[in-house]
Structure 1
């Protein structure tokens, strides 16, 4: 792997040097229009954008309330969140989650979690105020951004404003009543012709929240974050940018996990390079390299099990990767993107247990045990890809892409019992994925899209190498399987969007619809193995662990619909709903973590200095469950949120909100259950009750 990354770095340095020699120009005192880095996927260009995309939540435009991680996804049609507390929150899209979603920052940077219980998913390593927008590709409909199974989520961080040179910045702070939570952020940027610097620092202090019944849910946490982004423009066509950021989580309580986080420290560095207008045929070159390190410690000091056993687990994760892509245009109607990318994930760490009571009897001298969590494992994925876009005519674009991934996985320090189960050797997989799609602009007001994608995902490290750890929604111990086949998602989708101009006080009617069907091969699930017995606390139920296996007969289908009526110039009424139906034919049940039918109605208005909206959320009950996953049926619920924004003076923005205004007590179907909590049984954790919030930002 070192040879591969050395080659990537050498290529990056070579292209920088080449660009300096090729692009020497006379010194110009006039301001240049700087080409921004390709850190975004969706640019608003019909000829280059991927098919079936969504750009959501432009936070810098309508800042209303202090945002937790869940707020980034809760109001995007088709998304749900998997919640274990107020910190460890994972997004789920159309029933795809975890590594089934390709989640990244700024077009490719990744930071994988260190905790096997996902106390520290990728969304915890960046503060929500840094995110300017979220870009979503709804399925495996592009091969350019890494191996993709269920879709791509690109979190775009705020970039320098090249239209406004000099020193600028913003200061913001917010408060939430439910938990007495505080958030703040300071950001400065300095922009010149040749270089730009953006620096930010933030602090968040969230307390335990209360649900609609007034029950306090253990969910407090503190986090401190800072980042520095430096860019240098060799010319108007050539740019190099470095981004460094660190995040420090402290004293994080996880209501639905067996332990809490003492600390979670992450460091991420990325280097991006772009060179445009190289020649008549070779249009551009982009390159990226990144490195992330997560250092995580979890303990059970505040849990009921502490009286019987003290446990502390120190784990770490390293993620490194890079990408080089060339954009060719051999003739006017054909655009070709080809390149190489690589990602290497390595994890290690142990759990120390000090057992005080054994078989119901107190021990005069506690016994110490050491358990290997990750068993010093790694996964390396090296991919090559080509994607072409052909303009059949001025209104129709055909896209086709092919990708090959060479995936190598190995376990270097296995436990004896795990080594006895399997023939542990370094394993290499050869995955081929591809896509073909058509985008047709019927008119300026109507676009039709159709796509097929074959997404392939090799098993993650938990599914391969975990050894008798409780990592699911249920109390079972799970055992990995290094011989798992890669999951395959054959997804078909058709969608259309458009708008119609109206009269008599009504301005426009906007609409958007997507219908999809996925046939899944080698779907990975945990299955109870009655030939094996529990390793830790053998007297507890369930006595048989689960082992990850492949199933062959599974599918899911669904639809998303959005309609918005704009009227009286400034007002709008929007309605949207999403529905997913999934089936695991092998086990005769639904696939795990399938969200219920969800509907939203939003009534609002937007003026330059004042905006407001009322959102009514309707979530249906979920009776179709995965019993093998430990799911239970969930009741439906209805909630209402009210948001107001105001710019009383230039550069000052004030936002206030009431979330869950009815003070409803409810839990989402995807919420995990209370675990190892003295005052709670094993039931799904409830959501926050009524929450008043205020947010103030001053920009200069």
Structure 2
């Protein structure tokens, strides 16, 4: 597929957006002192120069170089290379890590129930992509993931999923919502940290209801020219999963670089006791490069490049496996701490990501896992059905932001442009050539937005954030697609060009009752446009509901979702204890859900489909708790609990495209649980760790307790799931510059499946017992 016109469209939109951005950012401001706040809430005034240094890691690096305070500057990138005290203390993480964020990142995590996760846990917990890191970290509450493969995880935050969750840090969007995900392209060891924002409480990222803010590894700085490196390898017994990574980094006072190559291979994994093998083999390779240069004493440029190549990826429970997948991601960040238009700081980010892949149904593992494909897909004999898919998608854009530092805080304002482009072809080669394609046509979305955000320390006890944004989203799609017999606008009985005008506004507050007790409150409104898949899919074989094997229809007449959310919570922190409880409730008007296109139980396979539809009102509410106690210098107890409940309050309203009076041909069902909501989940455990500032060893024993889920969307044929408990044990040892890790996951060999695992064919079940060990050496 030739994407040249999309490159032209991309750069034309960027040039137009730059003009808009420069107009939106050309505000005159003056540099004034800022009140620096420590993690206990105390405020002290700092000089303008020092306050600026607190806001940016590269600026802190420059300050370290100029002042010669230390050999390596306090840049987060240095943690990727050195076995520092800070990194070793994060191998198992804590239930609350917000106060460990660098100063420049801390204002971004002011929202209620925000969580911070660091990449060191990727080593301590043997995670693959960023989604699995979020799920396994005890610092992230209210998160569930759907394990597509051992290297592909679909993240769900408080019951919401792709389209409602935004992965920022280059605006990572899935090329196809069932075969790849927002964060499956990013190895969890390639980030410094991530901030999880669980509500409409951040304006700078784009229109969304939840945000995962990723911070890639940054280039370091040194007083003198230095070069370092690391080599690591990990082996897991279940599936013979090998993971290796080679990294190098270095620089001097004026520039720095970080280069890393990762390689993974695995066979099918075995499920729990008396189980069977799941077709889940893969090969994966990635290259990551970060290069930074100081253009002057007040200007820096940081360039990131990510290349991902995956081949022979088997995905149990879905129609297709991936033959090959290629992702190229570019990000450029320019920072000026003394801009000519007198702002305190100007930052410009430009990104471009493209993913393309092909897949089919030909592998023996697929035929064994879902034998119905052989008869449901078109074939010459009626029993050797075959289909293939090809996907091409890109996202690009920019964000221009000014920050002004005030006596009691800071405020930012800016503009952004987000461009999405997507095409999917699902082809059954043995069908007639003019009717063998079930696509998402080449479709486009352009989002132009402006925003403002204010963070204020009103008193020494009370801080507040507020912000808002306005967006215009314009979507269109190709009307004629080869292999589709008529125009898509005729099939869908609607125009394909759509426009959405979106808004967001929020207010959050944090009050320090005592030096140890804090309470918070948040309220916000946000709207978001339907995704290109929700608008334009035309019977594409996309696994979305629990049943897995189904086709999906989009609707160009979908309305935008509108969310109203309230959060309230308290937290306690002292030298030995960390405790928090957070309650939340969200009301979503015109919530986008599903409508089955045939009565339940009347047919199998692809005769069963679903259409995206709006329901007038849905509610998502729940609670999150965490606690941690240092029993002694080397013993820590911890526990977390998350519960979310979703309800469709207007279930009996008919959908626009359904031929039945009530949705899914079920009459009289006024309320129903929303599909795809994970049950109550708790994690409890104990950590034994060397009490020295640079710990030499550590052991963690963790139990994950998941309740049964009987709140199911019966009209969508969602099935209940029994509860289960799994146990993991992990350990690490540090000997000089050698770090050794090992563990046993699911050591009782439990046979189980998650509620959101696919039920197609033989069903998808999670891995049984697995031993792993790894090592990392740095030099």
Q: If the length of structure 2 is used for normalisation, what is the TM-score?
A: 0.79
Q: 2:282 is matched with which residue?
A: 221
Q: 2:595 is matched with which residue?
A: 527
Which of 517, 528, 540 in structure 2 is aligned with 1:446?
517
Q: In the alignment, is residue 196 of structure 1 matched against residue 256 of structure 2?
A: yes
Q: Deviations over 1:518-540 (max 9, x none)?
A: 11111001213469x9xxxx985
Q: In the alignment, is residue 418 of structure 1 matched against residue 473 of structure 2?
A: no
Which of 299, 303, 312 in structure 2 is aligned with 1:242?
303
TM-superposed deviation, 1:374? 1.9
Secondary structure (helix, strand or coil) at the match of 2:265 reads strand
Q: Does structure 2 conserve the Cα–Cα contact (< 8 Å) formed by 1:660 and 1:690? A: yes
Q: Note the residue ranges of structure 2 that are not aligned, 5 or more in a row.
A: 1-8, 25-48, 50-61, 78-96, 368-372, 375-382, 652-670
Q: Note the residue ranges of structure 1 that are not aligned, 5 or more in a row.
A: 16-22, 357-365, 502-507
Q: In the alignment, is residue 158 of structure 1 matched against residue 217 of structure 2?
A: yes
Deviates more, 1:212-221 or 1:182-191: 212-221
Q: 2:462 is matched with which residue?
A: 396
- Whole-angstrom distance in 2 between the partners of 1:190 and 1:549: 52
Q: Does structure 2 conserve the Cα–Cα contact (< 8 Å) formed by 1:63 and 1:653? A: no
Q: 2:773 is matched with which residue?
A: 694
Deviates more, 1:267-276 or 1:436-445: 436-445
Q: In the alignment, is residue 319 of structure 1 matched against residue 362 of structure 2?
A: no
- Whole-angstrom distance in 1 between the partners of 2:536 and 2:416: 25
Distance 1:383 1:629, change over 3 A: farther
TM-superposed deviation, 1:162? 3.4
Alignment of 1:277-426 (within 5 A): 277-278=338-339, 282-302=343-363, 303-304=366-367, 305=373, 308-329=384-405, 331-333=406-408, 335-355=410-430, 370-371=436-437, 373-414=439-480, 415=484, 416=486, 418-420=488-490, 421-426=492-497
Q: 1:6 is matched with which residue?
A: 15
How many pairs align? 657
Q: If the length of structure 1 is used for normalisation, what is the TM-score?
A: 0.87
Q: In the alignment, is residue 233 of structure 1 matched against residue 233 of structure 2?
A: no
TM-superposed deviation, 1:8? 5.2
- Whole-angstrom distance in 1 between the partners of 2:355 and 2:108: 35
Secondary structure (helix, strand or coil) at the match of 2:425 reads strand
Q: 1:171 is matched with which residue?
A: 231
Distance 1:65 1:47, change over 3 A: closer
TM-superposed deviation, 1:400? 1.4
Distance 1:62 1:178, change over 3 A: closer
TM-superposed deviation, 1:351? 3.2
- Whole-angstrom distance in 2 between the partners of 1:395 and 1:633: 47
Q: Does structure 2 conserve the Cα–Cα contact (< 8 Å) formed by 1:87 and 1:252? A: no
Q: 1:487 is matched with which residue?
A: 561
Q: In the alignment, is residue 605 of structure 1 matched against residue 688 of structure 2?
A: yes
- Whole-angstrom distance in 1 between the partners of 2:609 and 2:487: 14
Alignment of 1:494-509 (within 5 A): 494-500=568-574, 508-509=576-577
Which of 694, 706, 709 in structure 2 is aligned with 1:619?
706
Which of 638, 641, 659 in structure 2 is aligned with 1:577?
641
- Whole-angstrom distance in 2 between the partners of 1:13 and 1:463: 33
TM-superposed deviation, 1:353? 1.9
Secondary structure (helix, strand or coil) at the match of 1:443 reads coil
Q: Relative to total residues, which structure has the larger strand share, 1 or 2?
A: 1
Alignment of 1:98-177 (within 5 A): 98-104=162-168, 108-115=169-176, 117-149=177-209, 151-162=210-221, 166-177=226-237
TM-superposed deviation, 1:278? 4.4
Secondary structure (helix, strand or coil) at the match of 1:297 reads strand
Secondary structure (helix, strand or coil) at the match of 1:669 reads coil
Secondary structure (helix, strand or coil) at the match of 1:631 reads coil
Distance 1:48 1:240, change over 3 A: same
Secondary structure (helix, strand or coil) at the match of 1:548 reads strand
Distance 1:219 1:541, change over 3 A: closer
- Whole-angstrom distance in 2 between the partners of 1:408 and 1:61: 40
- Whole-angstrom distance in 2 between the partners of 1:591 and 1:604: 37
Q: In the alignment, is residue 671 of structure 1 matched against residue 671 of structure 2?
A: no
Q: Relative to total residues, which structure has the larger helix share, 1 or 2?
A: 2
